[in-house]
Amino acid sequence: DLYNFRLIRPDTKVYGIIGKPVGHSKSPLLFNASYKSVGLNAVYLHFLVDDVEKFFNTYSAVDFASGCSCTIPHKEAALKCMDEIDPIAKKIGAINNIVRRPDGTLTAFNTDYIGAISAIEDGLRGLNGVSSGASPLAGKLFVVLGAGGAGKSLAYGAAQKGARVVVANRTFERAKELADKVGGQAMTLAEVENFHPEEGMVLANTTSVGMKPKIDETPLAKHALKHYCLVFDAIYTPKDTRLLREARETGAVIVYGTEMLIRQGFEQYKNFTGLPAPEELFRTLMEKHA
C-alpha cells in the first residue's frame, strides 16, 4: 500500500521526486507512510524526468501538484525554473525541494545544508549542554574537507551560522574559489593535517574518501583529529567510516552522514505540509529499508 490508494480522491495532492534515474529512491516510501500516518490526503510518486524545463512548465500549471523533491542530475538545472529561491540555496547553486503555491508559483529550498548543519548543531549542543538559543557554531572554527556540491552546502551553511570557515581540498583552486565566496580561508588537504591554531574545532568531510568500496581510506590522518571536538562525515555508505571511527577513538563527538540524509527529509516534509515530520516513523523506515 505504498501509494495510499484508499486516500485518493478528486482533491488529492500530488507530490513526487524528479530525477533520472529515480526508481531507486526511497522517498516515496517515506513520504507516503508519513502522509498516511496523519491522514493527509496526498500521494508521493516517482517522476522520471529528462527535461526539467518542460516538466516545471507543466507542473506549475496543474492544481493537484503541490511540491516535489529534486535529485541527480537536476539539482542545478531546476534553479532557472523557480519563481523564488531560498537565498542560501541560491548561493550554493543547488536545490532539492520545491513547493508549488496555490497560485502556481514555485519556491525552492536546499534542505541538504539545513539537515547537515542542524545535525552538527545538535551534536555541539549535547557537548555544551546548551539546549537552544544562539547557534553553537557561532565563532567556531569550521573545517570543510572538499569543495564539490556537498562542500558548498556545508561551507555556506556554517558561514551563515557565524562560523569561521576553512575549506580544504585536494585541488587548491576549488578550495580557494569556495573559501573566497564564504569569506573563509583555503588550504590543501595536506596542509590541513598540520593546521591547529586552536582546539575544539569542527570538521566536516564532504570528499568521497572512505566511501564504499574504499572503506580503508580516510581524508585526514588520525593524529590531526585530536584538535576537533566534533567530526561529521557526509558519507553514509558505510555509516561508520574510518574517519568517524578514528574521531570517536580520539574523543570527538561524531555525526553520521545518515543524520544529514534523514534531517533533510524532515525539512522537505515541513516545507511540503507545514507540519512537523513524523521523525520516529522516518527513522524506523530508513533503518528498515537501508
Nearer to ligand ATR, 60 or 206 (CB): 206
In this chain, which stretch among 35-43, 45-53, 142-150, 159-167 interacts with ligand ATR, using CB under 6 A? 142-150
User: Cis before residue 197, ω within 30 degrees of 0?
Assistant: no
Grid coordinates of 171: 585541488
**Region for 146 from its dihedrals, namely left if φ exceeds 0, alpha if ψ lies in -120 to 50, beta otherwise:** left
Phi/psi-derived region of residue 17, left when phi > 0, alpha when psi is between -120 and 50, beta in every other case: beta
Q: What is the rounded distance in angstroms from the CA atom of residue 269 to the CA atom of residue 282?
A: 10
Residue 43 vs 187, nearer CB to ligand ATR: 187
CB 286 within 8 A of CB 259: no
Q: Does 165 bind ligand ATR (CB under 6 A)?
A: no
- Residue of the chain from 28, 115, 146, 278 that contacts ligand ATR (CB under 6 A): 146
Q: Which of 149, 238 has the CB closer to ligand ATR?
A: 149
First to last CA, the chain: 19
Smallest separation (angstroms) from ligand ATR to the CB of 150: 4
Give residue for cell 500530488. Answer: 14
- Closest approach, Cβ 75 to ligand ATR, in A, equals 9
79 or 147: CB nearest ligand ATR: 147
Candidate ranges 83-91, 97-105, 167-175, 241-249; the one touching ligand ATR (CB under 6 A): 167-175
Which residue in the set 16, 67, 151, 278 belongs to the binding site for ligand ATR (CB under 6 A)?
151
Catalytic sites, residue numbers: 75
Nearer to ligand ATR (CB atom), residue 41 or residue 171: 171
Sole binder of ligand ATR in the list 171, 188, 237, 284 (CB under 6 A)? 171
Closest residue to ligand ATR using C-beta atoms:
148
Does residue number 166 form part of the binding site for ligand ATR (CB under 6 A)?
no
- Among residues 42, 43, 49, 150, the one that binds ligand ATR under rule CB under 6 A: 150
d(CA 37, CA 28) in angstroms, rounded, equals 14
Considering only 148, 238, 270, 279, the residue that binds ligand ATR (CB under 6 A) is: 148
Cα–Cα distances (Å) from 100 to 24, 84, 139, 210, in that order, read 24, 10, 37, 38
Which stretches of the chain are DSSP H helices? 27-37, 52-59, 87-92, 111-128, 149-160, 172-182, 189-192, 242-250, 257-273, 279-288
Minimum Å distance from CB 128 to ligand ATR? 29
Query: Is 4 or 153 the residue whose CB approaches ligand ATR more closely?
Result: 153
Helix and strand element counts for the chain (H, E) = 10, 12
Between residue 196 and residue 225, which ones bind ligand ATR under the rule CB under 6 A? 206-209
Please say whether the beta carbons of 157 and 116 come within 8 A. yes
Query: How far apart are alpha carbons 15 and 23 in whole angstroms?
Result: 15
For ligand ATR, the binding residues in 12-71 under the rule CB under 6 A are none
Residues at the contact surface with ligand ATR, assessed by CB under 6 A: 146-151, 169-171, 174, 189, 206-209
